Protein backbone atom coordinates (compact mmCIF):
# COMPACT_ATOMS: atom_id res chain seq x y z
CA UNK A 1 0.00 0.00 0.00
CA UNK A 2 2.48 2.63 1.12
CA UNK A 3 4.83 1.99 -1.78
CA UNK A 4 2.65 4.44 -3.71
CA UNK A 5 3.76 7.34 -1.51
CA UNK A 6 5.96 9.96 -3.11
CA UNK A 7 8.70 12.03 -1.48
CA UNK A 8 7.41 15.45 -0.48
CA UNK A 9 9.33 18.65 -1.20
CA UNK A 10 11.75 19.54 1.59
CA UNK A 11 10.77 22.50 3.75
CA UNK A 12 13.14 25.23 2.62
CA UNK A 13 13.22 26.99 5.98
CA UNK A 14 14.00 23.79 7.90
CA UNK A 15 16.75 23.02 5.39
CA UNK A 16 18.10 26.52 6.00
CA UNK A 17 18.15 25.86 9.76
CA UNK A 18 20.22 22.72 9.24
CA UNK A 19 22.67 24.49 6.93
CA UNK A 20 23.07 27.28 9.47
CA UNK A 21 23.81 24.82 12.27
CA UNK A 22 26.50 23.15 10.19
CA UNK A 23 28.20 26.43 9.26
CA UNK A 24 31.36 26.81 11.42
CA UNK A 25 31.75 30.58 10.94
CA UNK A 26 31.52 32.67 14.10
CA UNK A 27 30.06 35.61 12.20
CA UNK A 28 27.13 33.69 10.67
CA UNK A 29 23.68 35.25 11.08
CA UNK A 30 20.36 33.38 11.04
CA UNK A 31 17.61 35.50 9.48
CA UNK A 32 15.51 32.57 8.25
CA UNK A 33 13.26 31.10 10.92
CA UNK A 34 10.27 33.25 11.80
CA UNK A 35 10.56 33.43 15.56
CA UNK A 36 11.31 36.42 17.75
CA UNK A 37 14.76 36.49 19.34
CA UNK A 38 16.12 38.93 21.90
CA UNK A 39 19.58 40.52 21.71
CA UNK A 40 21.17 37.34 23.09
CA UNK A 41 19.52 35.14 20.45
CA UNK A 42 17.02 33.64 22.91
CA UNK A 43 13.27 33.38 22.38
CA UNK A 44 12.30 34.12 25.99
CA UNK A 45 9.22 33.10 27.95
CA UNK A 46 7.38 36.33 28.67
CA UNK A 47 7.08 37.41 32.30
CA UNK A 48 3.28 37.34 32.30
CA UNK A 49 3.27 33.86 30.79
CA UNK A 50 5.58 32.57 33.52
CA UNK A 51 3.41 34.16 36.20
CA UNK A 52 0.23 32.72 34.71
CA UNK A 53 1.80 29.28 34.42
CA UNK A 54 2.80 29.37 38.06
CA UNK A 55 -0.73 30.28 39.11
CA UNK A 56 -2.19 27.64 36.81
CA UNK A 57 0.11 24.98 38.27
CA UNK A 58 -1.05 25.86 41.74
CA UNK A 59 -4.76 26.14 41.02
CA UNK A 60 -5.64 23.78 38.17
CA UNK A 61 -7.26 20.64 39.54
CA UNK A 62 -8.25 18.85 36.32
CA UNK A 63 -7.02 18.20 32.78
CA UNK A 64 -10.42 17.13 31.50
CA UNK A 65 -11.46 18.13 27.99
CA UNK A 66 -12.77 21.59 27.24
CA UNK A 67 -15.59 21.97 24.70
CA UNK A 68 -15.07 21.18 21.03
CA UNK A 69 -14.58 24.90 20.35
CA UNK A 70 -12.33 25.35 23.38
CA UNK A 71 -12.97 27.38 26.53
CA UNK A 72 -15.59 30.10 25.81
CA UNK A 73 -13.59 32.48 28.01
CA UNK A 74 -10.66 32.19 25.59
CA UNK A 75 -12.94 33.05 22.68
CA UNK A 76 -14.32 36.06 24.55
CA UNK A 77 -10.84 37.31 25.42
CA UNK A 78 -9.49 36.90 21.88
CA UNK A 79 -12.53 38.40 20.17
CA UNK A 80 -12.09 41.43 22.42
CA UNK A 81 -8.34 41.61 21.70
CA UNK A 82 -8.69 41.36 17.92
CA UNK A 83 -12.04 43.03 17.25
CA UNK A 84 -12.56 45.35 20.22
CA UNK A 85 -15.98 46.93 19.82
CA UNK A 86 -15.91 46.88 16.01
CA UNK A 87 -18.77 44.34 15.94
CA UNK A 88 -21.14 43.11 18.64
CA UNK A 89 -19.98 39.94 20.38
CA UNK A 90 -23.12 38.06 19.36
CA UNK A 91 -22.12 38.53 15.71
CA UNK A 92 -18.98 36.41 16.16
CA UNK A 93 -18.64 32.63 16.30
CA UNK A 94 -15.19 31.41 17.38
CA UNK A 95 -13.30 28.18 17.96
CA UNK A 96 -9.85 27.53 19.41
CA UNK A 97 -7.37 25.78 17.11
CA UNK A 98 -3.86 24.30 17.27
CA UNK A 99 -2.01 27.52 16.49
CA UNK A 100 -2.66 30.11 13.83
CA UNK A 101 -1.90 27.47 11.19
CA UNK A 102 -4.73 25.37 12.57
CA UNK A 103 -7.06 28.37 12.28
CA UNK A 104 -6.01 28.92 8.67
CA UNK A 105 -6.53 25.24 7.84
CA UNK A 106 -9.97 25.20 9.48
CA UNK A 107 -10.94 28.36 7.59
CA UNK A 108 -10.01 26.78 4.27
CA UNK A 109 -11.93 23.62 5.23
CA UNK A 110 -14.93 25.78 6.11
CA UNK A 111 -14.79 27.60 2.78
CA UNK A 112 -14.58 24.31 0.90
CA UNK A 113 -17.56 22.96 2.85
CA UNK A 114 -19.68 26.06 2.19
CA UNK A 115 -18.60 26.79 -1.39
CA UNK A 116 -16.57 23.99 -3.07
CA UNK A 117 -16.02 26.10 -6.19
CA UNK A 118 -14.74 29.18 -4.32
CA UNK A 119 -11.57 30.73 -5.63
CA UNK A 120 -9.08 31.93 -3.01
CA UNK A 121 -7.34 35.18 -3.94
CA UNK A 122 -3.88 35.14 -2.32
CA UNK A 123 -1.26 37.88 -2.25
CA UNK A 124 1.87 37.36 -4.35
CA UNK A 125 3.92 36.68 -2.31
CA UNK A 126 2.33 35.24 0.80
CA UNK A 127 3.25 32.91 3.67
CA UNK A 128 4.20 29.68 1.82
CA UNK A 129 1.97 27.50 3.99
CA UNK A 130 -1.10 29.31 2.67
CA UNK A 131 -0.29 27.97 -0.78
CA UNK A 132 0.75 24.54 0.48
CA UNK A 133 -2.50 23.96 2.40
CA UNK A 134 -4.69 25.23 -0.44
CA UNK A 135 -2.92 22.97 -2.94
CA UNK A 136 -3.28 20.00 -0.60
CA UNK A 137 -7.01 20.67 -0.28
CA UNK A 138 -7.33 21.03 -4.05
CA UNK A 139 -8.71 24.56 -3.87
CA UNK A 140 -8.31 27.05 -6.70
CA UNK A 141 -5.75 29.78 -6.01
CA UNK A 142 -5.82 33.15 -7.76
CA UNK A 143 -2.71 35.22 -7.01
CA UNK A 144 -3.05 38.97 -6.75
CA UNK A 145 -0.08 41.28 -7.18
CA UNK A 146 1.11 42.76 -3.90
CA UNK A 147 4.84 43.52 -3.65
CA UNK A 148 6.77 45.92 -5.88
CA UNK A 149 10.36 44.71 -6.19
CA UNK A 150 11.49 48.17 -7.28
CA UNK A 151 10.02 50.27 -4.47
CA UNK A 152 9.86 47.38 -1.93
CA UNK A 153 6.39 48.67 -1.10
CA UNK A 154 2.86 47.57 -1.96
CA UNK A 155 2.00 47.46 -5.65
CA UNK A 156 -1.36 48.90 -4.77
CA UNK A 157 -2.83 49.78 -8.16
CA UNK A 158 -1.97 46.32 -9.47
CA UNK A 159 -3.43 44.75 -6.34
CA UNK A 160 -6.75 46.56 -6.76
CA UNK A 161 -6.91 45.69 -10.45
CA UNK A 162 -6.52 42.00 -9.60
CA UNK A 163 -9.03 42.06 -6.72
CA UNK A 164 -11.63 43.64 -8.98
CA UNK A 165 -11.77 40.34 -10.90
CA UNK A 166 -13.11 38.49 -7.82
CA UNK A 167 -16.71 37.32 -7.86
CA UNK A 168 -19.42 36.74 -5.28
CA UNK A 169 -18.53 33.48 -3.54
CA UNK A 170 -14.78 34.00 -3.89
CA UNK A 171 -12.56 34.62 -0.87
CA UNK A 172 -9.81 37.24 -0.62
CA UNK A 173 -7.06 36.31 1.84
CA UNK A 174 -5.54 39.39 3.49
CA UNK A 175 -2.77 39.86 6.05
CA UNK A 176 -4.15 41.89 8.97
CA UNK A 177 -0.78 43.52 9.71
CA UNK A 178 2.96 42.90 9.38
CA UNK A 179 2.69 41.21 5.98
CA UNK A 180 4.64 37.96 5.77
CA UNK A 181 7.03 37.73 3.94
CA UNK A 182 7.42 41.32 2.77
CA UNK A 183 6.83 43.58 5.79
CA UNK A 184 5.05 46.02 3.43
CA UNK A 185 1.59 47.02 4.67
CA UNK A 186 -1.44 48.85 3.34
CA UNK A 187 -2.18 52.28 4.79
CA UNK A 188 -5.62 53.30 6.07
CA UNK A 189 -6.77 54.81 2.77
CA UNK A 190 -5.66 51.70 0.89
CA UNK A 191 -7.60 49.48 3.27
CA UNK A 192 -10.67 51.61 2.58
CA UNK A 193 -10.19 51.00 -1.13
CA UNK A 194 -9.87 47.25 -0.59
CA UNK A 195 -13.10 47.27 1.44
CA UNK A 196 -14.85 49.14 -1.38
CA UNK A 197 -13.75 46.49 -3.87
CA UNK A 198 -14.97 43.69 -1.59
CA UNK A 199 -18.33 45.45 -1.19
CA UNK A 200 -18.62 45.81 -4.95
CA UNK A 201 -17.61 42.28 -5.91
CA UNK A 202 -19.30 40.41 -3.07
CA UNK A 203 -16.12 38.46 -2.31
CA UNK A 204 -15.64 37.42 1.32
CA UNK A 205 -12.52 38.61 3.19
CA UNK A 206 -10.41 36.18 5.18
CA UNK A 207 -7.85 37.87 7.42
CA UNK A 208 -4.78 36.12 8.77
CA UNK A 209 -3.52 38.15 11.74
CA UNK A 210 -0.46 36.47 13.26
CA UNK A 211 1.57 39.45 14.48
CA UNK A 212 -0.79 41.76 16.36
CA UNK A 213 1.35 44.03 18.55
CA UNK A 214 4.54 43.58 16.51
CA UNK A 215 3.93 46.44 14.08
CA UNK A 216 2.53 49.72 15.39
CA UNK A 217 0.87 48.50 18.59
CA UNK A 218 -1.99 46.21 19.63
CA UNK A 219 -4.88 48.46 18.60
CA UNK A 220 -3.15 49.98 15.58
CA UNK A 221 -2.31 46.52 14.23
CA UNK A 222 -5.93 45.40 14.65
CA UNK A 223 -7.42 48.54 13.08
CA UNK A 224 -7.68 47.15 9.55
CA UNK A 225 -9.17 43.85 10.71
CA UNK A 226 -11.76 45.72 12.76
CA UNK A 227 -12.60 48.00 9.85
CA UNK A 228 -13.08 45.06 7.46
CA UNK A 229 -15.13 43.05 9.96
CA UNK A 230 -17.44 46.01 10.58
CA UNK A 231 -17.94 46.88 6.91
CA UNK A 232 -18.66 43.53 5.21
CA UNK A 233 -21.58 41.12 5.60
CA UNK A 234 -19.25 38.21 6.39
CA UNK A 235 -15.62 37.84 7.39
CA UNK A 236 -13.26 35.07 8.52
CA UNK A 237 -10.37 35.82 10.88
CA UNK A 238 -7.52 33.44 11.74
CA UNK A 239 -5.52 34.72 14.72
CA UNK A 240 -2.35 33.39 16.32
CA UNK A 241 -1.00 33.80 19.86
CA UNK A 242 2.40 32.31 19.05
CA UNK A 243 4.24 35.55 18.46
CA UNK A 244 2.65 38.19 20.65
CA UNK A 245 2.51 35.87 23.67
CA UNK A 246 5.72 34.00 22.77
CA UNK A 247 4.01 30.62 23.21
CA UNK A 248 5.05 29.04 19.90
CA UNK A 249 5.14 25.46 21.13
CA UNK A 250 1.78 25.66 22.92
CA UNK A 251 -0.01 25.91 19.53
CA UNK A 252 -2.61 28.52 20.43
CA UNK A 253 -4.85 30.04 17.81
CA UNK A 254 -8.47 30.85 17.06
CA UNK A 255 -10.78 31.02 14.06
CA UNK A 256 -13.56 33.62 14.07
CA UNK A 257 -16.60 33.89 11.81
CA UNK A 258 -18.13 37.36 11.74
CA UNK A 259 -21.60 37.95 10.29
CA UNK A 260 -23.74 41.06 10.41
CA UNK A 261 -26.80 38.85 10.91
CA UNK A 262 -26.65 37.59 14.53
CA UNK A 263 -29.25 34.91 13.71
CA UNK A 264 -26.52 32.94 11.93
CA UNK A 265 -24.21 32.73 14.96
CA UNK A 266 -25.51 29.41 16.33
CA UNK A 267 -25.18 27.73 12.93
CA UNK A 268 -21.67 29.14 12.53
CA UNK A 269 -20.65 28.12 16.05
CA UNK A 270 -21.96 24.59 15.56
CA UNK A 271 -20.13 24.34 12.23
CA UNK A 272 -16.82 25.39 13.76
CA UNK A 273 -17.27 22.82 16.53
CA UNK A 274 -18.07 20.16 13.92
CA UNK A 275 -14.91 20.95 11.96
CA UNK A 276 -12.80 20.73 15.10
CA UNK A 277 -14.35 17.34 15.86
CA UNK A 278 -13.44 16.01 12.42
CA UNK A 279 -9.85 17.20 12.50
CA UNK A 280 -8.63 16.93 16.10
CA UNK A 281 -11.67 16.82 18.40
CA UNK A 282 -10.81 19.09 21.34
CA UNK A 283 -8.26 21.87 20.79
CA UNK A 284 -5.19 22.32 23.03
CA UNK A 285 -6.02 24.25 26.18
CA UNK A 286 -2.79 25.07 28.04
CA UNK A 287 -1.75 28.04 25.91
CA UNK A 288 -5.34 29.21 25.51
CA UNK A 289 -5.82 29.18 29.27
CA UNK A 290 -2.63 31.20 29.80
CA UNK A 291 -3.76 33.77 27.24
CA UNK A 292 -7.17 33.99 28.92
CA UNK A 293 -5.60 34.47 32.34
CA UNK A 294 -3.33 37.22 31.05
CA UNK A 295 -6.01 39.10 29.11
CA UNK A 296 -8.51 39.01 31.99
CA UNK A 297 -6.14 39.93 34.83
CA UNK A 298 -5.36 43.66 35.03
CA UNK A 299 -1.81 43.26 36.39
CA UNK A 300 -0.82 40.40 34.10
CA UNK A 301 -2.23 42.18 31.06
CA UNK A 302 -0.38 45.39 31.87
CA UNK A 303 2.93 43.51 32.27
CA UNK A 304 2.33 41.55 29.05
CA UNK A 305 1.56 44.71 27.10
CA UNK A 306 4.65 46.43 28.47
CA UNK A 307 6.91 43.54 27.47
CA UNK A 308 5.24 43.23 24.07
CA UNK A 309 5.83 46.94 23.50
CA UNK A 310 9.52 46.45 24.35
CA UNK A 311 9.66 43.68 21.75
CA UNK A 312 7.99 45.90 19.13
CA UNK A 313 10.27 48.85 19.79
CA UNK A 314 13.33 46.58 19.72
CA UNK A 315 12.46 45.39 16.20
CA UNK A 316 11.67 48.94 15.09
CA UNK A 317 15.02 50.09 16.45
CA UNK A 318 16.83 47.35 14.53
CA UNK A 319 15.02 48.38 11.35
CA UNK A 320 16.04 52.00 11.79
CA UNK A 321 19.63 51.06 12.64
CA UNK A 322 19.92 48.81 9.59
CA UNK A 323 18.44 51.42 7.24
CA UNK A 324 20.82 54.06 8.62
CA UNK A 325 23.85 51.77 8.37
CA UNK A 326 23.02 50.87 4.78
CA UNK A 327 22.56 54.52 3.87
CA UNK A 328 25.96 55.30 5.37
CA UNK A 329 27.75 52.45 3.58
CA UNK A 330 25.98 52.75 0.23
CA UNK A 331 25.56 56.51 0.07
CA UNK A 332 22.00 55.86 -1.06
CA UNK A 333 18.56 55.97 0.53
CA UNK A 334 17.37 52.98 -1.49
CA UNK A 335 17.14 50.91 1.69
CA UNK A 336 14.88 53.37 3.48
CA UNK A 337 11.98 50.93 3.02
CA UNK A 338 13.44 48.81 5.83
CA UNK A 339 12.50 51.45 8.39
CA UNK A 340 9.02 51.75 6.88
CA UNK A 341 8.21 48.04 6.91
CA UNK A 342 6.64 46.57 10.03
CA UNK A 343 6.76 43.28 11.92
CA UNK A 344 9.40 40.61 11.97
CA UNK A 345 10.03 40.39 8.25
CA UNK A 346 11.27 42.45 5.35
CA UNK A 347 11.88 41.36 1.80
CA UNK A 348 15.02 42.82 0.24
CA UNK A 349 13.63 42.34 -3.25
CA UNK A 350 16.77 40.71 -4.63
CA UNK A 351 17.41 37.48 -6.53
CA UNK A 352 17.92 33.95 -5.17
CA UNK A 353 21.43 34.14 -6.61
CA UNK A 354 22.21 37.18 -4.45
CA UNK A 355 20.72 35.45 -1.41
CA UNK A 356 23.01 32.49 -2.05
CA UNK A 357 25.97 34.84 -2.43
CA UNK A 358 25.20 36.34 0.99
CA UNK A 359 25.18 32.85 2.48
CA UNK A 360 28.31 31.57 0.74
CA UNK A 361 30.46 34.68 1.14
CA UNK A 362 29.21 36.11 4.44
CA UNK A 363 27.30 33.42 6.34
CA UNK A 364 24.03 35.38 6.08
CA UNK A 365 21.10 32.96 6.07
CA UNK A 366 17.75 34.13 4.72
CA UNK A 367 14.96 32.54 2.68
CA UNK A 368 15.62 32.34 -1.06
CA UNK A 369 13.00 34.98 -1.91
CA UNK A 370 15.11 37.43 0.21
CA UNK A 371 12.77 37.43 3.20
CA UNK A 372 14.76 38.15 6.34
CA UNK A 373 13.74 38.00 9.98
CA UNK A 374 14.62 41.36 11.48
CA UNK A 375 14.31 39.86 14.96
CA UNK A 376 17.28 37.63 14.14
CA UNK A 377 19.53 40.69 14.37
CA UNK A 378 21.03 42.61 17.27
CA UNK A 379 22.96 45.87 17.53
CA UNK A 380 26.26 44.08 16.90
CA UNK A 381 25.17 42.07 13.85
CA UNK A 382 23.38 44.92 12.04
CA UNK A 383 26.68 46.43 10.76
CA UNK A 384 27.82 42.96 9.63
CA UNK A 385 24.64 42.45 7.63
CA UNK A 386 24.74 45.96 6.17
CA UNK A 387 28.33 45.51 4.96
CA UNK A 388 27.48 42.11 3.45
CA UNK A 389 24.51 43.55 1.55
CA UNK A 390 26.60 46.41 0.15
CA UNK A 391 29.58 44.17 -0.66
CA UNK A 392 27.28 41.76 -2.50
CA UNK A 393 26.10 44.63 -4.70
CA UNK A 394 22.44 44.38 -3.78
Indicate which residue of 96, 107, 210, 224 is catalytic: 210
Longest dimension (CA), the chain: 63
Pairing of β 153-154 and β 147-148: antiparallel
DSSP characters over 3-28: GG--PPPPPHHHHHHHHHHH---TT-
Our answer to whether residue 77 is catalytic in this structure is no
Rounded Cα distance, 63 and 266, in Å: 27
Indicate which residue of 52, 107, 127, 239 is catalytic: 127
Q: Identify the bridge partners of residue 226 per DSSP, sorted by sequence position.
A: none
Positive or negative torsion for Cα 304, 307, 228, 125 = negative
CB 374 within 8 A of CB 344: yes
Our answer to whether residue 127 is catalytic in this structure is yes
Indicate which residue of 51, 93, 238, 243 is catalytic: 243
Indicate which residue of 208, 221, 285, 369 is catalytic: 208
Scored b (16 or more CB within 10 A) or e, 268-296 reads bbebbeebbeeeeeebbbbbbbbbbbbbe
Our answer to whether residue 200 is catalytic in this structure is no
Our answer to whether residue 210 is catalytic in this structure is yes
Helix axes 265-279, 99-114, angle to 10 degrees: 120
The three-class DSSP label of residue 95 is strand
Question: What element of type H or E holds 259?
Answer: strand 252-259
**258: cis peptide before it, omega within 30°?**
no
Rounded Cα distance, 14 and 18, in Å: 6
Rounded Cα distance, 273 and 277, in Å: 6
Pairing of β 119-124 and β 140-145: parallel
Question: What element of type H or E holds 268?
Answer: helix 265-279
Pairing of β 92-98 and β 252-259: antiparallel
How is the chain split among helix, strand and coil, in percent rounded to 5? 50, 15, 35
What does the DSSP 8-state code read for residue 87?
S
The catalytic residue positions are 127, 208, 210, 243
Amino acid sequence: MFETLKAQPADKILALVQAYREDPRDTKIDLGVGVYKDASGLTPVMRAVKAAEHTLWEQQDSKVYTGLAGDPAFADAMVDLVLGDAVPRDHVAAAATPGGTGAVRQAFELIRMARPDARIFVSDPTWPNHISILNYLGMEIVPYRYFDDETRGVAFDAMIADLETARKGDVVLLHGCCHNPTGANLNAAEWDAVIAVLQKTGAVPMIDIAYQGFGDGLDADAAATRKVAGALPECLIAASCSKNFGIYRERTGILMMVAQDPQTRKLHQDTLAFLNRQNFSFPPDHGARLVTMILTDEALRADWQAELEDVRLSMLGLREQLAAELQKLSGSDRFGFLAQHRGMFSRLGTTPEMVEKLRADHGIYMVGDSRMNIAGLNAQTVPILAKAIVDAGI
